[in-house]
Amino acid sequence: PQMGDYRVPDISWVKELVRQDLGISLMAKDALQNEPGIVSIAIKDPLPEKFTISVATREGYVLTPDEAAFVEELKGIK
């Protein structure tokens, strides 16, 4: 199986990908109210105390000031 992380301009795109069986997503429960064709499955296991966050960009891509600030925030998380 191939996994990917995609950025879309609107949550409705993500919902449609899920509805068309082209992906899965983690969403807040409120985002799935009145969404025919999408099944919500509750996560019953607690979140892990530790996890890895990765950030990748295209070679040569220059971060916007907001993106750079976000990356710095991530680096500061211990």
The verdict on residue 6 lying in a domain is no
Task: Give the per-residue pLDDT at 32.
Answer: 84
Task: Give the per-residue pLDDT at 62.
Answer: 92
The verdict on residue 5 lying in a domain is no
The verdict on residue 2 lying in a domain is no
Supply angle C-alpha 53, 57, 58, rounded to 5: 155
Q: List pLDDT tens digits, range 37-72.
A: 888 888 787 776 676 777 888 889 999 998 899 888
Task: Give the per-residue pLDDT at 51.
Answer: 67
Q: How many domains does the chain have?
A: 1
Q: List pLDDT tens digits, range 7-31.
A: 677 888 888 888 898 878 878 788 8
The domain of 23 spans 11-76
The verdict on residue 29 lying in a domain is yes
Query: Bigger pLDDT: 78 or 67?
Result: 67
Q: Which two tokens stand for residue 44?
A: 């019953």
Confirm if 63 and 71 have CB atoms less than 8 A apart.
Answer: yes
The verdict on residue 1 lying in a domain is no
Q: Strand ranges (DSSP E) for the chain?
A: none
Does the structure show a pLDDT above 50 at 1?
no
